Structures are given as C-alpha cells and as structure tokens.
Structure 1
C-alpha cells in the first residue's frame, strides 16, 4: 500500500477527495440529477415503535398530478440503503418511493414490550409486519400520491413483512366494511344498497390499500390453517391469507437462492414454482414458466398477453380476480437487490399493474450502477484513509515516539526443512475457520416481532443484543483462542530456541506508549468515520457497508468491541511475527498475510457456492448437527447454511484488507498495537453498522 511514510499525506488527500467526489456524484445519480427530491423522516407505528424511512419524490408528482407510490423493504442483514437500486430506478420513472428501515434495523426501533395487533389475534409482542402497515398508511399524508395505485416490494424478510402489512390493511378495511354493512342492514336497507353503503364507508375510512406487490427472495406467506402460524405448514393444512384480496402479485427468485428449501420446500430454486406454497399463493398453479402472467385461481396458469394482464390487473378490485406472475433470473438470494434483470422485472410488473402498462423508461435502461460504483470507490477510499491518516499522524511529534524499528519475524525459511515446517503450521492455522464457521455462526435469525427465532448459537440478550454479531463474536473467540494456542506453542517450542523473544512479537511497548497507540487509533478512526458519515449512506456496495450508526448501534459497538480488540490484536501479532517470512520479498509477505486471513474460508466458500452454481444445491447444505435423528426428534427441522453463507461475503471482503493494513501499520510503527486497535474499530463498524438490533 504505502512503501514510504512520506506518501501517506498524499494518499490521505486523494482518498478524502475521492470520498467527497463519489458522495456528490452518487447523490446526483440517486436524485436523477435533481429531478427527484429525497427526504428522511420518522413516524410512530401502530404498536408504538419509531420507524425511520426515506422518501423519493419525483418533480412530476404533484397535487394536480398525483403519482403511484411504492413501499420498499429490505432483508434481515440490511437496512433501507440496500433498496437504493430499486428506489433510484422507480423514482426516476415517476413513482413516489418510500424506503423503510424495518423494526430493529437502521434507525428504526423495536416496539416497546406488551404491544399487540388485534388482526393478528391480539398476541402479545407479535407484530410480524415490522412497521410496513403503518408505513403504508403514511402515503395518505401526501397529496402528490395517488392512493388508488399503491405498490409494495420486499426482499427476503422484507417480503414476509409487506405481505403481513398488506394483510393488516385489508383486514382493517374488511372490518370497517362489515361494521358499516351491519349498520346499513339494521337501518333497513336492502342487500344491494347496504353493500354499496358499506363499500363507500370502507373506502372513506382512510385505510391505504396496496393493489400490487412484488415478492423477491421469499415465498408466499402460507399459514397453518389450524393456528394461523407459520409452523408445520404442509400441502394439506396451508392457507394464504391474501387469497381473497384483490392484490396483483409477482414473485422473483434467483435460480441459485440459498434459502429456497427453507422458504419454498424445494432444494433447487429454479424449481420453486413446483412447490405447494406457490400453488397456494396462485390459487392452484404449479410449474409455471418464468415471465408468465396468469389469473389467480387458474390452476392451468393460462398465459395472458401483456395487454390482457394490464386489463385484468386494472379490474381486479371489481372482479376479485387479480393477476399473478412468476419470474426467475440467474443469481443468488442477495443478487435480487442488485441484479439488472430482477430489477427490470419488478419495474415492468408495477408498470403493468399501476400504470396501465405504460413505461416512461424501458425497464432495462438502468443507471443505478453508477451509484453502486461510487459507493464502492468511496468505501475503498474510506478503508485506505483510515490507514493513511494513522500513518500521517505518526509524523506528528506527539505520536512519533510510537515509531520503532520493525522487529524480525520468528520465521526464516532458509532451508527446505524450515520451509516445510512453516508450510505445515501455516496450513494448520488455516483449518479452524472453515471447519468451525458453520458450527459457530449457525442460522442467527432472531426477530421477536415475527416470533422467528432460529438456530442462534449465542442468543441475543439485553447486553449482547444483535444475533448476527453474536455469532461472529462466538466465531472470533473460539477461532482466536485456537490460533492463540497454536501461536504460543510455535513461539515456545520453535521460536525461542531460535533466539526469538518478546520483542519479536511486536507487543513489547511501554504501557504509556500502548495507550498512545490507542489514542492514535481512536483519532484516525473517528475523523475518517465522521467524514464518511457526512455523506449519509454513500459508502456501500453489495453486502459491504460503512454506514453512519445511531445511538443504539453505538452502544452495542462498545459492548462488542473488547472481543474485536482481542481478535485483531492477536491476528496482527500472528501475521507480522509468524506469517511474515524474514527472507521473503515484501510482495510475497503481503500475499501470505492476505491468504492467511481468509484462505480456509475462501476454499470452503468456493466449494460451497461452486457446487450451488453447478447443481443448483449448496455443497454444504445444513448447519452441522441439525440433520441428526436426535435433533430432528427434538426440533423437527434442519437448518440451512444460507444466512451464515451470506454473512461470509463480508468476511471475505474485509479480512484480507484488514490483514494487509495490519502489515502496513506494523511495518511503519514497529509494533502490533496500532494495527490491532485501529482495525478492530474499522472492522467492527463495517460489520455492525446496519445490522439488526434484536433485543
């Protein structure tokens, strides 16, 4: 990265400039060159939570010319920022768009305890819509929204949530209709007149109803008819609550969706339309080709032309026969956020169901890629800026006392025997991470308002309140302890005999100087993070984010920080005092350190996803132990590796970058402290900045 410390200020200046430029360019793309106004706001939901959302309002949407509106909802390990590609493309086509942080995500809170929803049986602490019903009702606040043309689009958990929000809206509308009908009948009106009176009363009740929904990366919400839960649903006992609502719905699935077996009941995602849940959501259709429009209740799924689909969708509220469509695209579960084909399917379906088939811009003509590119450049610039600022500050007299000559590594491969010994130990150190990853991370899905608590190895609590981060914490502790034991053995049994001592670990530093290294890390992290925060959510790409955090996330940050400090100080020592080879070229040491950080995980990932892309089924399908007879007898289901696999994307991105950065900081400071401190801050912020708070 930086071979000479004098280059650090120049690199810092370049990275900061890139952050500023990409933020500005990205914002211009986000607002379609000023043609779309954006604003963030909060509101209180029906169960007392504070929800946070972002509104995209095209200039063409006015009180005189109200526009269709669409609510966008993200998945479990994301926030509203993940929906930006859809938001950009829909808003520049004239749709009013609201992106919502679901409960516990982004800047939305969890509801206070004791809440309930009458339409959900009045069950305490159960609100599976995650704020989508109340967000839907927010559209009534805007005179530039056409309330007769409302759509909803969700991804994964967000898809489950929007179905619940739509169900709540229609349940409340039906209750208003029934109450008015009873009153009209009691007043002596005949059946037809009473029905007309009740319909008018329900429509004037102010309840905002969706007429179009796009479900991505998730199944139709099929309940168990016996208790209306999602438990034990089979082809014999299922019911789709929205079957009686005049809502036009399409599904969009990646052909390599990792969650398919859990959600649809079939292993190969390309076959999802053969599942019984698909049949329930469509009124009997099965094995439907991708891109087919057909009527709900038509078991034969008789294809409709686009013109016929437009006509049927427009009359659904009268005929009570909405349309259905099924789409498949080449991609994984997470790709639904960012795949051009998947996004175009959603746009076209909304054009058909909310705009009478008119397309202002061809659905395939998309510009969000520029915003994503700006996010990636800005993100990488921020990661480099953390290190560049620390190196720049090392020239300041106060911090210059930290600089020491770089100690020699405990490894010198000067003979074949030494080289073989090094290779064996190196490979041994690569094994714990892939062998233990799925065991330790599990399936950390925990959403109390949905009553979904899956295989989380370290349950969230009032202190450690983020299930996905708990899983990574457990992984860091166990793998860290194993690596520490291996390193101590290598040091005691091999390195000391070769004359290496405490100084070679990079830890020999007076306490006052170690504290000064901590201060330097805090200043470097704080200044760059604050700079990135000024741009809002500019610095994100795919599953990689460096996001501004709210107060709740910062409180959790300091709770989890000690474990990240332990892990990254440890790996800084290992990378620089053992993995580094004294007589190897500098470039080779960088490669060795980068591979050491994630090589085992990368091989596991390549096998796992390689088999998925080759066969349609994961190479490592289930969390180890969940397929045993005892487990199945107790729990009743296996758990897929899907969520842990998706979380692995971020690790494979940030671990090698952190390892290389630790090498640079060690080389320039002569100790492991600065790198250990700074990288623990950066990686933890990277890990949890948009992660869900579960408790």
Structure 2
C-alpha cells in the first residue's frame, strides 16, 4: 500500500466538520459558555468538572442549577446529552468527573463518589440560584447525588436518578420524606435491576418494598403517576423508558423525563418543551470526528512507512501458508469464539486471587482485561504452535509465512523500528485529538465509547499496561495473518474478513446475553451486567484493530507494527476511560 493524500484530506475534513458540529451543539451556537473547573474537597481531593453557563447568567442575574453526574467507568462527557439540554433551558449545569474517573483525583468510590464535594462547590457559585438546585445522576452518579442530598439536605430542591436506586452501595435508604422531590427513571431493560432494586426483571421494580417505601404506598407503583406533593418536597414519580442501562445516555425519552421533572420542581428556567432536543447532533459530531481519526490511520501508516527511518520496514507480503477449506472455518470459529467465551470467566481471576489495586496496576477493570488478554493470548499461542509443529510445518510452512521474520532470520532491529513506527502513528492520532480538543473542546466518541486525552497520571498508569497488551496483539496478529489470511484476498476482502474474525464473537456474546432480557426476562448470564456493558466497547475497538492489522501488514509484511499500534491504542483508550482505584 502507498500513501494516498486524498485519504489524509478526507480524514482532516471529518475531524474539522465533526469537531465543529459537536462544539456548536455543546455551546448552543455560542449561547452557553462551557469551561473546565477544578476544585478541592475537604481532604484535598481535586475534582474536575465541565461547567455550562447560559448567556446572560451573572451574579446579578442568577439561574437555577443542576449537577449532572455520570456512572461507573464513565466520565462527564457521557452526561453531555443531559447537560446540553439543561443548559439550553437556562440552567447552570455542573457535570463532574467522579472521584477516580476522568480527570478527577483517585480513588474511585471515595468522597461519596465525588457528590459531596460537587454539591458543596455548586453552593459557592454566586451566579446560581441557591434556592433552585437540582441533582441528576446516572447509575453510580445517582448514588453520588443521593449521598450529597443526605449530607446537605437543604442544599437542593429536587433530584432525578437514572438507572439507580436508594439504599444501595452507600446511598441512603429512601423514605416518604427523603429525598426531596425525586424522579426515578429506571429502564425496562436495565441490566442492574437485581443490584439496584432486588428483582431480576427490571419492570418488576414496581412491586418492590423498597420502591413502595420511597413512594409512601402499599400498592404497586404506577409509572408516570406523581405521588406526594411537589410543594412539600414529597413528590415521587417513576418512568420506565424502553432502553437499557447505558441506553439512558442515548435516549430522547429518558432525557425528556429529566427535563420534565426539573421543569416541574425548579423555578427560573426557560419554557422549552422536553420534546425539543438537539443533543444527538453533538453525538453525531463526535462520531464524525472519531471516524476521521480512524481514516487517519491509513495515511499515517503509509506516509510514515515511506520516510527514511522506516523505509526498510516496507516489504512485500509473505506468501500465506494458512488453513484451507473446512479447516479454515474451524480455525475461524475458534479464533473468533475463544476471546468471547473466556471473557467472563477469565476477567474474574485477578479478583479471585485477591489482587488489589496498586501503584503498578492501579485500575481494577483494566487489570481484569489484561489478565483475560494474557490468558487468552497464551491459549491461542499454544493452539497455533501445535498446529504449526504437528501439521503446517510438514507442508513446508516457516515462521516467515506468518510474518514473524523476513526470510529465516529474526532481526531485533526490525522489531524495534516497527515499535518506533507504531509509536509515530499513535503520535499522529494523539496529536489530532489534541488539536480537536484545543479548538473544539470535544473528544472522539459515540455513546459510551470514547477516545479521550490521557491525564499525566493516566499516562503513567498506561505504561504499566502497554507491554501486556502489545504481547496479546502480537499473538493475535500471528494467528490472524499466519493461520487465516488467504493469498487471493484483496485489501477490501481482507479488511472485512479481519473485522468479522475479530468482532463476531463479541456480537454473538451480546446477542445471547440480551435476547432473554429483551423478551421480558433477564440477561442470559444475569450475574454479569457490568461486563456485558463493557463488552460493547470491544465492537468498535476490534473494528479499529482490524483496520490497523490489515493496513500495517500489507505495508510491512510483518506482524509487529500492527500489533504495537493496537497494543498502544487499546491501552490509551482503556486507561483513559477507566476508573482508577489506587491513591497515588
């Protein structure tokens, strides 16, 4: 493959158009000022947040305020749909990163999930009407809101919890009098109904004693019916949109319920129907920018490989000596099924061994992904080695056919140059995000999948995980290119094949998990709601990995450049997106 300037131009257009569109929506075309604030809690823990201030709001003209808090292993950007719509209606919105998330100090779960410090900070803002403050939180963000409401019972007027509950994981129990004016938005297909409300089927939360106690009734709760009295602060309402737990972030209906509730319980906002929503265009903008970054991979690899430091890496494709016929299908099924089948059992091994977050591996979820990757990679390597030694070697196959060496000699210098080329490609991608962030104050994302800049602490954490992930992707590359690649494939056919081989297993896993839930039951493996949601992110990650593998292998004829790019990219994305559980 050769450098194509048209691909570079197309990528840059996507980055600019997507970033500009997202920025315009996020700021309501300049009618809302969006800034970043940092503030210290009582124990010195620093919280980072986005602050949305509508035009015309000042100390002399204060506006009602809303704190919009994300859930576990998310960051403030996942609340942007809510924040954008609240700010369009004249609310000052504070969207924090919970402790241990985004750019707030670790560790996760501390300081009431960050809710206490955030509400205390909101109370210091003189341009916020202190008699009209609302709290909105999704999942663990709901707990953050409830904890804050418990500590500061007179500091807010109403609350919306999305996919969350009272009396769970440190959040106080709800009563007929507390919290003030609460709307519970709990989706019909929420994966966490057992954790949140103690029932396996989400729609049956209406029958739970915990919800009845909150609503001060002995009857089953009727959705959309307002219980209690708004003027007395005892109002309660339940809404059940037809989405999943993470679907609340991407739901016109769920966001509309929050808008409606604050319209009814807070004073001073602009009259704008809940049906009037534009947040989806911000998601479209950041998606376009994300696609621009993906397109940028191709000219970045090809252009850099043509430069003098890396020119020796551009080699002809080695002749494939792979599985054929029915054997290919058997190998393909094993390749795509193995990671999905092992995901749930392997990710829990570190927990089972009692591993705790440490300075070396500071993020529990990332550590679990790492353990799964290493064990799955080891199994794949053993299976591949047995196939080579017992079968393929006898037909004349060598390691050169698998892209491991050029000819019969292994050269460390070539591997090192491959690493430098991969690092340079990552540098190009990261620089593009730096520019988009600088000019438009957005990242690359769609829904719960995001590519964020690393904080200095996250960069340090990433150094601990990058080597294991690179090793995993070297094994994946060897199997993908050595056992499954066919000589007659065109670039397009190979790209599609690699995408399917890397992604189908997770697609099947998610289908098996969600089908029973969507039919009115529970997840197929009901004990794995969190990791089922985490598995969604493997779909876009593997699509990007497929492109990297295909382009890098066709340019270099070896497995290393693609593996290093994927190892570094996945480490970057995962570490920047995950919660940090160790206090440095």
TM-score w.r.t. the length of structure 1 is 0.79
Corresponding residue number in structure 2 for 1:255: 188
Corresponding residue number in structure 1 for 2:257: 345
Aligned CA distance change for structure 1 residues 455 and 68 (closer, same or farther; 3 Å): farther
Matched, 1:70 2:66: yes
Distance in 1 (CA, whole Å) between partners of 2:455 and 2:484 is 38
Matched, 1:11 2:7: yes
Q: State the Cα distance separating 1:616 from its structure 2 match.
A: 3.1
Corresponding residue number in structure 2 for 1:200: none
Superposed, 1:247-646 pairs within 5 Å as 247-284=180-217, 286-295=219-228, 312-313=229-230, 315-316=231-232, 321-355=233-267, 360-411=271-322, 413=324, 419-442=325-348, 458-509=355-406, 510-536=411-437, 537-584=442-489, 586-621=491-526, 640-646=527-533
With 522-531 and 252-261 compared, the bigger mean Cα shift is at 522-531
Of structures 1 and 2, the one scoring higher in RCO (CA 8 A, sep 6+) is 2
Corresponding residue number in structure 2 for 1:678: 565
Distance in 1 (CA, whole Å) between partners of 2:293 and 2:491 is 24
CA contact (8 A) 1:443 1:641 kept: no
Matched, 1:58 2:54: yes
CA RMSD of aligned residues (A): 2.2
Match of 1:138 among 99, 121, 135: 121
Can you give the 5+ residue segments of structure 2 that lack an aligned partner in the other structure? Answer: none
Q: State the Cα distance separating 1:598 from its structure 2 match.
A: 2.7
Distance in 2 (CA, whole Å) between partners of 1:385 and 1:585 is 21
Aligned CA distance change for structure 1 residues 664 and 165 (closer, same or farther; 3 Å): same
Q: State the Cα distance separating 1:443 from its structure 2 match.
A: 11
CA contact (8 A) 2:206 2:220 kept: yes
Distance in 2 (CA, whole Å) between partners of 1:502 and 1:525 is 27
CA contact (8 A) 1:211 1:246 kept: no
Instruction: Report the secondary structure of 2:200's partner residue.
Output: coil
Match of 1:98 among 77, 94, 100: 94
Distance in 2 (CA, whole Å) between partners of 1:340 and 1:411 is 49
Aligned CA distance change for structure 1 residues 533 and 275 (closer, same or farther; 3 Å): farther
Instruction: Report the secondary structure of 2:226's partner residue.
Output: strand
Instruction: Report the secondary structure of 2:13's partner residue.
Output: helix
Matched, 1:654 2:541: yes
Distance in 1 (CA, whole Å) between partners of 2:299 and 2:373 is 26
Distance in 2 (CA, whole Å) between partners of 1:30 and 1:430 is 39
Aligned CA distance change for structure 1 residues 267 and 128 (closer, same or farther; 3 Å): farther
Superposed, 1:96-135 pairs within 5 Å as 96-110=92-106, 127=110, 129-135=112-118
Distance in 2 (CA, whole Å) between partners of 1:681 and 1:384 is 18
Match of 2:166 among 210, 220, 232: 220
Match of 1:240 among 170, 173, 183: 173
Aligned CA distance change for structure 1 residues 56 and 601 (closer, same or farther; 3 Å): same
- Name the larger-Rg structure: 1
CA contact (8 A) 1:22 1:375 kept: yes
Distance in 1 (CA, whole Å) between partners of 2:360 and 2:176 is 42
Distance in 1 (CA, whole Å) between partners of 2:487 and 2:46 is 56
Q: State the Cα distance separating 1:442 from its structure 2 match.
A: 4.0
Q: Deviations over 1:328-377 (max 9, x none)?
A: 00100001111000000000000000028x76211111111110001111
Aligned residues: 574
Corresponding residue number in structure 2 for 1:28: 24
Instruction: Report the secondary structure of 2:318's partner residue.
Output: coil
Corresponding residue number in structure 2 for 1:305: none
Q: State the Cα distance separating 1:488 from its structure 2 match.
A: 0.8
With 571-580 and 78-87 compared, the bigger mean Cα shift is at 571-580
Q: Deviations over 1:398-430 (max 9, x none)?
A: 3211111100122163xxxxx122222322333
Distance in 2 (CA, whole Å) between partners of 1:456 and 1:158 is 29
Distance in 1 (CA, whole Å) between partners of 2:358 and 2:398 is 42
Distance in 2 (CA, whole Å) between partners of 1:246 and 1:684 is 40
CA contact (8 A) 2:443 2:450 kept: no
Instruction: Report the secondary structure of 2:517's partner residue.
Output: helix
Aligned CA distance change for structure 1 residues 6 and 369 (closer, same or farther; 3 Å): same
Distance in 2 (CA, whole Å) between partners of 1:282 and 1:502 is 68
CA contact (8 A) 1:278 1:286 kept: no
Distance in 2 (CA, whole Å) between partners of 1:430 and 1:126 is 35
Distance in 1 (CA, whole Å) between partners of 2:261 and 2:374 is 47
Instruction: Report the secondary structure of 2:6's partner residue.
Output: helix
Distance in 2 (CA, whole Å) between partners of 1:20 and 1:437 is 37
Distance in 2 (CA, whole Å) between partners of 1:65 and 1:242 is 35
Matched, 1:689 2:540: no
Match of 1:154 among 137, 145, 156: 137
CA contact (8 A) 1:80 1:99 kept: yes
Corresponding residue number in structure 1 for 2:82: 86
Distance in 1 (CA, whole Å) between partners of 2:282 and 2:349 is 31
Q: State the Cα distance separating 1:128 from its structure 2 match.
A: 5.2
CA contact (8 A) 1:575 1:663 kept: no
Can you give the 5+ residue segments of structure 1 that lack an aligned partner in the other structure? Answer: 112-124, 174-208, 224-228, 231-238, 296-311, 414-418, 445-453, 622-639
Distance in 2 (CA, whole Å) between partners of 1:551 and 1:659 is 29
Instruction: Report the secondary structure of 1:146's partner residue.
Output: strand
Aligned CA distance change for structure 1 residues 81 and 110 (closer, same or farther; 3 Å): same
Distance in 2 (CA, whole Å) between partners of 1:641 and 1:456 is 19
Instruction: Report the secondary structure of 1:534's partner residue.
Output: helix
Q: State the Cα distance separating 1:19 from its structure 2 match.
A: 1.1
TM-score w.r.t. the length of structure 2 is 0.94
Q: State the Cα distance separating 1:129 from its structure 2 match.
A: 1.6
Q: State the Cα distance separating 1:242 from its structure 2 match.
A: 6.3
CA contact (8 A) 2:192 2:529 kept: yes
Q: State the Cα distance separating 1:126 from its structure 2 match.
A: 8.3
Distance in 2 (CA, whole Å) between partners of 1:555 and 1:94 is 40
Instruction: Report the secondary structure of 1:397's partner residue.
Output: coil
